[in-house]
Amino acid sequence: MSALTPAVSAAPVPHPPSGASTSSTSSASKQSRAVSGPTYMENGRKTYVVHGANFEVPSFIDITKSVGYGAYGLVCAAVDVRTNKKVAVKKNKQVFRDAGDGKRILREVKLLKMFRHENVLSLCTFYVGSGTFDDVYLVTELFDTDLATVIRSKQNMSEDHGKYFIYQVLRGLKYVHSSNVVHRDLKPQNILVNLNCDLKLCDFGLARGLNKLDTIEMTDYVVTRWYRPPELIMLNKHYDTSVDIWSTGCIFAELLNRKPLFPGSNYLSQLQHIVGLVGIPDGILSSSSFQNKDAVEFLLNLKIQKKEDNSLQSAIPGSTDPHAADFLGSMLQFDPKKRLSASELMKHPYMSKLHDPNDEPVSNTQFDWEFDAVETLSRDDLRRLFVTESQEFPEHLPVDL
């Protein structure tokens, strides 16, 4: 993305958010104590102990510290000693205990293995742990922080920075969408950022294909809800790439305001926030974009009104660019058919200083969703699929299938 360098250098690059790339002495000490080892294994790998759990890596990877852990896995910062490249190693624990979780991780493995784009996270390597073969490890590029941390920080950030971040999001989405993939869970936490403001989309576990008729999982998860478009809140079964465009609009406004645009506490509250800003389009009952007519009638019966003093410009009061409100409005269209695509948005006047038609590539490969069509996979089926995928990498552990 060399063509962007002049535009970036013309704007001040934000300093790292507080705590994003360096830790306090106390925190660093705790992280250091959380990791011990390694112990070398007969199969050529080595094992560290991270937060009391075994953490297995190829011989050429040295763990430096733990950067996150929870009920389902661990993430460590590490170094590939062959290249001195910093990487992140994520251990997904007991992947095969739940078919849904296993399928989600397999989906992400397959996608990250295929993706090759400057603004989309890709897989460096991937392997199944030894022993019970229940743990799956993903190795990716290491990033300093995520966009949510940048937004929450007190670091000054100009509109040019927000513009550059969103341009990279759109550039990544153009590639992802051309791969026959819809992200479906785009939010600041799923956007990785380096201290030089380079950005990559990540966390594709909920992604789906463009041609797959599917019902989105309506989990009651507050953070994700804030970036969810109205058609999915209203239980539409069919969707397309426009769901990611709506989320991008929410993220754009949040970058400029440093606070969520639609912070609904539940789905009704979410719709009230949305309608209060963008209104309800005429003819919504007859629109093919909203198949769930009961949900539409329910919305209309609520008699939520757009606030008279609300405008898209009022949603981003700090913007000084005359094209910003129209740019935001091109993403926050209630009717998904009226939202611009990622490619079209990069051509918008708001992006004129960054848009480079010769450096906004699409994918040469369409993702094959055939494996995802299988509704039920046994524990052994899942393990076999993971091992087969891992054998395409040189670090895989031979397993008797």
Token readout for 272 is 């009230």
DSSP code of residue 341: P
The SS3 call for residue 172 is helix
Cα 222 from Cα 360, distance rounded (Å): 33
Cα 320 from Cα 300, distance rounded (Å): 35
Edge-to-edge, what's the strand order for the sheet holding 61-69?
A: 61-69, 73-80, 85-92, 136-141, 123-128
Token readout for 294 is 């009961």
DSSP assignments along 123-170, one per residue? EEEEEE-STTS--EEEEEE--SEEHHHHHHS-----HHHHHHHHHHHH
Cα 7 from Cα 142, distance rounded (Å): 25
Strand partners, 55: 48
CB atoms within 10 A of CB 45: 20
Q: What stretches of 61-126 show up as alpha helix (H) in DSSP?
A: 99-114
Q: Which residues are catalytic?
A: 185
Whether the ω angle into residue 260 lies within 30 degrees of 0, i.e. cis, is no
How far does Cα 296 stand from its chain's mean position? 29
91 is in an annotated binding site: yes
Cα 258 from Cα 101, distance rounded (Å): 33
Cα 60 from Cα 292, distance rounded (Å): 54
Q: Which single residue is written with the structure tokens 């999982």?
A: 217
Amino acid letter, residue 232: L
Token readout for 193 is 């950022």
CA 151-156-157 angle, 5° bins: 65
Cα 58 from Cα 45, distance rounded (Å): 5
Cα 149 from Cα 15, distance rounded (Å): 12
Annotated binding site for ATP: 91
Annotated binding site: 91
